[in-house]
Amino acid sequence: MNYKDILEKVFHDTKGLTNKGKIATYIPELANVNPTMFGVHMTNLTGEGYGMGNNLVKFSIQSIAKVFSLTLAYRILGEEIWKRVDVEPSGTKFDSLLLLEINNGIPRNPFINSGAIVICDILVSHLGNARKEFLAFVRDLSNLPNLSYSDKIADSEKANGYRNVALCNFIKSLGNIKNDPTEVLDFYFDMCSLEMNCEQLSYAFTYLANGGLKISDSSEVITKPQSKRINALMLTCGFYDESGEFAFKVGLPGKSGVGGGIVALYPHSYTIAVWSPPLNPNGNSFLGMKFLEEFTTHSDFTIF
């Protein structure tokens, strides 16, 4: 079977499953999404793509944006970045405070909330206007000049993000946040509010399947070794306390978000984005996980 036939078969098989997931409601605005949405889009490194279902409907990419913020901070700071954030799986929930005290305010990795907040602090320190320059960076790498933040989602999270406020203040007390916590958190909430559809998301991640180069003009987003390391972090830390299970069942570097999106990639080959809002108990898309497991288990589109 070619990849289009496999995608279609797995899409229809997965659509037929009972969705046992639950929509995230801790950000009230996210609860307004239609739970039956289900879309998939695959992009190869020549830019050719194929998608189905609700692949052209925009959704809140949430934590998936943490890969873009890490990319920009890594590009600015180079290896110095690892003095501020570690590279180990946390084995805890994405918004956990648990390990920060014993690790002196150094988050376990850049994808859990604490790590992503430290990355936002780095960007606030190094950019004149982090909100504006981060958006310009993602617009450029995704070839989406009209990409924007969702003020509705960001405001909804700002009004209810008590755990993130706690995390940022706690890290500040331990010396690993250099700026005003309110400024850092405002940027963090904006960053998480970016909206894309599956087609756009799978295209935006192609630089990580292409050794750090944009597929459109081969310009460098990050170096090849940096791209290797971000892929390694996605494989080991992209799904929080379900990262081991994702590697075990799907076997690709990837990143999830509480909006129900997952993006995964096969280096030098393709990227794939899937979206279904109801989440499993670990905060990852229930159907998205099932889809990717079937897709890589019954095809040659797998690393292992």
Tokens 């994702």 sit on residue: 246
Its sign, for the CA torsion 228, 129, 174, 258, is negative
| Contact indicator for 61, 191 with CB cutoff of 8 Å | no
C-alpha closest to that of 293 among 262, 270, 268, 269: 262
Q: Which is nearer to ligand DON, 253 or 257 (CB)?
A: 257
| Contact indicator for 177, 168 with CB cutoff of 8 Å | yes
Of the candidate spans 143-151, 175-183, 208-216, 253-261, the one that interacts with ligand DON by CB under 6 A turns out to be: 253-261
| Residue 95 in contact with ligand DON, rule: CB under 6 A | yes
Q: Which is nearer to ligand DON, 252 or 258 (CB)?
A: 258
- In the region spanning residues 183 to 212, those forming contacts with ligand DON, defined by CB under 6 A, are 192
Work out which of 107, 260, 283, 288 binds ligand DON, going by CB under 6 A: 283
Using CB under 6 A as the binding criterion, the count of chain residues that bind ligand DON stands at 13
Shortest gap between Cβ of 165 and ligand DON (angstroms)?
A: 10
Alpha helices in the chain (DSSP H): 3-15, 65-77, 113-126, 130-142, 151-158, 162-173, 181-192, 198-204, 206-209, 224-237, 243-249, 286-297
| Residue 118 in contact with ligand DON, rule: CB under 6 A | no
Of the candidate spans 44-52, 119-127, 216-224, 255-263, the one that interacts with ligand DON by CB under 6 A turns out to be: 255-263
Work out which of 73, 247, 258, 292 binds ligand DON, going by CB under 6 A: 258
Give the burial string for 124-153 (b: 16+ CB within 10 Å, else e). beebeebbeebbebbeebbbeeebebbeeb
Binding characters for ligand DON, 140-159, by CB under 6 A (x = yes)? -----------------x--
Binding footprint of ligand DON on the chain (CB under 6 A): 62-63, 94-95, 113, 157, 164, 192, 256-258, 283-284
